[in-house]
Chains A and B, each alone.
Chain A
């Protein structure tokens, strides 16, 4: 189970990595959105957990760039958006991608971790990409 975490708040990034690894996941992390994009296009992940407000670009930019590789449907399955700024506009935009949205701070940590770990069908997606 491969998880990518894109989060520039290192304390959150490292804590999440540790918590997910404890539950058996393989976790890679990025603080920079641009570096993450390059990596996403190169490697396959079962889950991409992405903060919305990064220092260089936004989580939306990352998703838009990922469209080069994934279809909208697939984006909805792979991506989880984390946000601390739940303004109605931001939420509306996030909902357009139909992916899971987690508000920071998490109201329920276990629920959030399970959402990240509960992976379905992504294997099929990547197999398809590889045969292409």
Chain B
């Protein structure tokens, strides 16, 4: 019996030994698994944002439905939450610093590291039921990791053990991801700075340009630019900064706005200052005209009166642009065009003018703001005349074609030198001008006016004999609600 007892004791001891060996073996396998999972996690996470999703995919956490990674960069007033909830997917939210600190302390002080939603009642976190959480401290960051099954079952020992043994190894992963994150941010910021550098800048690899900043991209011709500075970045890669002082190309929004409002003020002042003396001139010339006996003198004074009227009209037109005064009235199209041509008489002296109406619009009446339409046509005709004059075109001709194709089209063309395609893109930008004395406002103002009439004004790229602009105006139906 004794021997049997001894025997069984021996067996029991052996069994115990074997069991402990097998336990150790299990443990080793367990650790091995964790190590694999960790490696997998490091490979799968391509950024801090994807961490919650990849973390929940780990073996052993399959029953968990949500994961929140809350990161507070020290010094910030807010913490970033990267959330992943099964079925809902990923989302980013923000937690204010007080809530973060409260949660952080609750987790830090807790011994069993198991929590339920009653502990975080007032926090803006989508957590249901019990959850596991762990806090991490990095030199620049405080981090909270939370996972939950979204139920009220108390986590069992194995789960707790898995979560905490595993999460204790996460610190280097967080460190790596956050370092990468801040490095990315630095690069983005740096690229932004390069783009916004206030001088044209390009980076070359040998002879090839591999980077152009914003100003450089806008330049039409960079070969003529003077090099301000150039330096070697790396083997065969060098950056070049160019001289840049062309004011015309450097119209930032504020600068532009200032010019426009200054111009508005200027026009207003001019109107006030000029309309009185012009009125006086008009009145007095009429008196003189009526008293003149010599027919030649009479005609001369008559011309003065006409010029005065034209000046008044121009001032009126320019100040109309800045007012919302919009009177529409029924007028004959032909009369409008004739009037515009009469106004441009002196500019178009010596230039042949032809007007062609298609049959259906010969007697057309329009409900429009006369002044605007005349001003637009005046502008186009004067532009054409100036182009013809400066280019000294032989047999200069301005053609006005009018036709209807659902809308009304008025096309003003010349046989001058035309406009280069790349310049045509800038034509409607305020203050862009090709003329020495131009304001660069004629076309943008005209387009603005046409658009207020629900029409459009554009450059005709198809026309090759010179430059050509098309005014499109709506005609049929009575919906002319102009603003």
- Minimum CB–CB distance from B121 to chain A (whole Å) comes to 59
Cross-chain contact A104 with B287 (CB below 8 angstroms)? no
Q: Do A11 and B286 touch across chains, with their CB atoms under 8 A apart?
A: no
Contacts of A104 in B (CB 8 A): 275-276, 279
Q: Are B280 and A10 in contact (CB under 8 A)?
A: yes
Interface 1/0 per residue, A1-37 and B, CB below 8 Å? 0000000011110111011000000000000000000
Q: 4 new A-B pairs (CB below 8 Å) besides A9-B277, A12-B276?
A: A9-B276, A12-B280, A19-B283, A104-B279
Q: Please pick, from B272, B280, B312, the residue contacting A11 in the complex, using a CB distance under 8 A.
A: B280
B residues sitting closer than 8 Å to A (CB atoms) are: 272, 275-284, 286-287, 312
Q: How many contacting A-B pairs (Cβ < 8 A)?
A: 40
Query: Is the Cβ of B284 less than 8 Å from the Cβ of A14?
Result: yes
Check: A91 CB closer than 8 A to any chain B CB: no
A12: chain B residues at CB < 8 Å are 276, 279-280, 283
Chain B residues positioned under 8 Å from A9 (CB to CB)? 276-277, 279-280
Task: Using CB atoms, name the residue of chain A closest to B283.
Answer: A15
- Classify the secondary structure of B's interface with A: helix
Kindly list the 7 A-B residue pairs having the minimum CB-CB distance in the complex, ordered from nearest. A11-B280, A15-B283, A12-B280, A105-B279, A15-B284, A9-B276, A104-B279
Could you mark each residue 93-132 of chain A with 1 if its beta carbon is under 8 Å from any beta carbon of chain B, else 0? Answer: 0000000000011100100000000000000000000000
Interface-central residue, A10, A12, A16, A85, by most chain B CB under 10 Å: A12
CA A16 to CA B279, docked complex, whole Å: 11
What are 6 A-B contacts with C-beta separation under 8 Å? A9-B280, A12-B279, A84-B272, A104-B276, A105-B275, A105-B312
Name the prevailing secondary structure of the A interface residues: helix
A11 to B312, CA, bound (A): 16
**In the complex, are the beta carbons of B287 and A105 less than 8 A apart?**
no
| Chain A residues closer than 8 Å to B279, beta-carbon distance | 9, 12, 84, 104-106
Q: Measured between alpha carbons, how far is A109 from B286 in the docked complex, in Å?
A: 10
How many angstroms from the CA of A19 to the CA of B284 in the assembled complex?
A: 9
Known A-B contacts A19-B287, A84-B272, A85-B272; A105 and B282 likewise in contact (beta carbons under 8 Å): yes
With a CB–CB cut-off of 8 A, which chain A residues contact B312? 105
Task: Give chain A residues whose Cβ lies under 8 Å from the Cβ of B277.
Answer: 9, 11
Which chain A residues lie closer than 8 Å to B287 at the CB level?
A: 15, 18-19
A18-B287, A105-B312 known; A84 vs B276 contact (CB < 8 Å):
yes
Q: What separation, in Å, do the CA atoms of A6 and B414 have in the docked complex?
A: 51
User: A8's closest neighbor in chain B, by CB?
Assistant: B276
- A101 CB, min distance to chain B CBs, angstroms: 15
CA distance A95 to B312 in the complex (A): 26
Which residue among B278, B283, B286 has the maximum number of chain A CB atoms within 10 Å of its CB? B283
Bound together, the chains give a CA A85 to CA B287 distance in angstroms of 25
